[in-house]
Amino acid sequence: MHDAHRGVVRRGYDEIADRYLAARTTGRDLALLPELVSRLSAGDAVLDAGCGAGVPVMTKLVDADLEVVGIDLSSAQVRLARSHSRGARVTQADLVALPFGDRSFDGLVSYYAVIHVPRSEHQVVFDEFRRVLRPDGVALLCLGARDLPADDDTESWLGTHMFWSHFDAETNLEMLRASRFDIIRHELVEDPMNHGRHLFALVAAD
């Protein structure tokens, strides 16, 4: 990620870690998770890429008897995730350079994380997701639903400076295919925190 934008996102989520956790609500976004879990088996390794505080997604994965690893750019979010998801291993890392070997995971989820990466690097992120997944591995990805080159918002995201960037839904699906993912299903889902709609895509490594 470009250093300036990386810094904005990291500092922003460090600053609002507790506020974001308190404000985080769920809706249709969380209802999509069981379909991914149903395609996995107990003990399978799953990466939560952009795990935040570990609530609610990572805790659901741990409760499903999966071997869960979480990463987040924010050190404050990592600390919260470690306290909320004691059955998971959590570390600070960047989506554009995952600190894992090839074919390390059977599954991968990423909620509201890729949208904070400059979109010029989204193909790199998708390639990294594909690299760390085993053949026939599955991923549930939250991506942009509209064209947004950059939104460098200085104050409105829970009172902190934040950055977003993404492509429209069709472009994202094309990029996923270019990274050798098969699209199982996809839909546009309302953000439970009133931040528009996002593309959720359930995909398989070909």
Q: Pick the closest to residue 110 from 94, 88, 121, 99 (CA basis).
A: 94
Dihedral (Cα; 134, 200, 156, 5), 10-degree rounding: 30
Identity of the amino acid at 32? L
| Number of domains forming the structure of the chain | 1
**Which CATH number goes with the domain that contains 197?**
3.40.50.150
Q: What is the pLDDT of residue 2?
A: 67
What stretches of the chain show up as alpha helix (H) in DSSP? 3-15, 17-23, 28-31, 33-38, 57-63, 75-84, 122-132, 169-178
pLDDT at position 156 is 84
- The whole-number pLDDT of residue 3 equals 86
Strand 133-144 relative to strand 105-110, pairing: parallel
pLDDT at 123: 98
Segments of the chain scoring below 70 in pLDDT: 1-2
For residue 120, what is the DSSP state?
Answer: G
Query: What pLDDT is attached to residue 148?
Result: 97
Cβ pair 124, 112 in contact under 8 A = no
